[in-house]
Amino acid sequence: MTETCYSKGQKVILVTSQIKNGNWLCTFSIPGFSHLDGGLHGQDSSKGHKTEWEARTNAFQRAKLFLDRSQDMTQGHIAERT
């Protein structure tokens, strides 16, 4: 299942899938960024999440963290030039 969300005005595409053990994985992509999301950051991907909602929520949180870091790096780079 694909869902489109927004964080800080930036489009975030969530792609949710159910794995063989019945658990759920969700990855995100952000148009304009080349970041590849692996689904479960720092966890065994064979485990997944018990519900689709948990998987999507976790992926969206990871996307927001990614956007925050990207914004911090951009602002830091701009501050260095001025």
- Residue 12's pLDDT band, with cuts at 50, 70 and 90, is very high
pTM: 0.75
pLDDT higher than 60, residue 42: no
CA distances from 72 to 17, 66, 79, 81 (A): 31, 10, 10, 14
- Asked if the model's pLDDT at residue 80 lies above 60, the reply is no
